[in-house]
Structure 1
Amino acid sequence: MIIMIAAAAENNALGKNNELVWHLPNDFKRFKSLTTGHHIIMGRKTFESFPKPLPNRVHVVITRQENYKPEGCIVVDSIEKAIAVCPENEDSYIIGGGEIYNLALPFTDIIELTKVHHTFEADTFFPKINKNEWVLVESEENQKDEKHLYDYTYETYIRK
């Protein structure tokens, strides 16, 4: 299965200047729990936003830069090639950024979305989920608290 995983605001904002514009520790824990042990597909800018590669995951980086070869990563130049290098019988995760989400949407089976209940100024956005193509099958609301400045909801969509 190809699973898209993201956190997006009410206005579909993902981030600004290659950084998230909120901090939700529980969402980071959920991301780690779901993606650990799997292939994760991302664009170069997303990969470069990490201080170091994420442990216990196979990084597949999409870039048009021919000599881009970060250690320990599989580098490809298209979403089709990224998906092709992932094991067919296992879950693989699309983790961003905005351009990669748009390219990967036609290949995606499941969307794991954390909806952050706020709007933010951003330069990168998550694609609009077409309700004619996707059905919400699970929703878990979470209230803001001392560690989370915003209410947020975990949403799981499957393709119709």
Structure 2
Amino acid sequence: MAEVSLEIDAPIDAVWAVLADGWSYAGWVVGASHIRDVDTGWPAPGRRIHHSVGPWPMTIEDTTEVVRCEPNRLLELDARLWPVGAARITFTLTARSESLTEVRMGERAVRGPTTLMPNAVQDAMLVPRNRETLQRLRALAKGRLSTP
């Protein structure tokens, strides 16, 4: 499993607010280019974000579904990108203080051709992408603190 972590200078509820806002997904997930719809009740288990991935006009339309949700603590997603495959992505939040949150992001291929790639190759592809994803998540969480 490709795993990265980042400490974010924001309270856990500010970080969670970004994760819980399905419409913000394309703003912090590297590769997501457009949100077409978000199921009512996101991020409850079974709810989906309907997204496009990749540069226009070569986008792939698919969905990401919530597998498990523990508000302010954990969000587990099944991210689909057919025909490439699907990945299980887990975000774990830990409050380090009232104003500092550690976010751990783990990702692994679970279906499709990408599961045939050795773990070292998956890690080499996913770790830099996921580091950038967490940097973008941090920017949005901190931005919410400065918005009145």
Q: Same-fold call, TM > 0.5?
A: no
**Higher helix content, 1 or 2:** 2
**TM-score normalised by length of structure 2:** 0.29
Return the structure number with greater relative CO, CA threshold 8 A, min gap 6: 1
